[in-house]
Amino acid sequence: MTTEEIRNSDLQLLIDIAPEVDPVQIKQDVSFRDQLYVDSMDLLKFVISRHSEFGVEIPERHYSKLATPNACVEYLDALFGQPKASNPLPIQRSC
């Protein structure tokens, strides 16, 4: 999975969760909560969707690492072995 594929998938999911948001206006370094006005259930839906689509386990203690679009992409890049992360995160893949 490439960085661009992850970013595109995340963007599509954000559009599904918050259809009133203009995708062009989504800022990559601003938290989902602050710019999309989503609640905790929407964020949980986002994390669960990442698990379903990519087949990776994201421990609850790591949810805060997915606070912004860039942070989410960087986290998933690390799981998929992309060279961006200087401090790789533990990988927990589901079967």
**Tens digits of residue pLDDT in 16-31:** 888 888 888 899 999 9
Residue closest to 66 by CA, chosen among 86, 94, 89: 89
Q: Is 93 helix (H, G, I), strand (E, B) or coil?
A: strand
In angstroms, the CA 94 to CA 23 distance is 30
In angstroms, the CA 39 to CA 33 distance is 7
End-to-end alpha carbon distance in the chain: 17
Please state whether the predicted TM-score (pTM) of the whole model is above 0.85: no
pLDDT band at 70 (very low <50, low <70, confident <90, very high): very high
Question: Tell me, what's the pLDDT at 39?
Answer: 86
- Tokens at 44, concatenated: 């949980």
Residue 38 has pLDDT above 50, yes or no: yes
CB atoms near residue 11 (< 10 Å): 14
Residue 36 has pLDDT above 90, yes or no: no
Helix-helix angle 40-54:69-79, to 10 degrees:
30
- The mean pLDDT value for 42-67 works out to 90
Domain range annotation of the chain = 3-79
Which of 2.10.109.10, 3.90.550.50, 1.10.1200.10, 1.10.3370.10 is the CATH number of 3-79?
1.10.1200.10
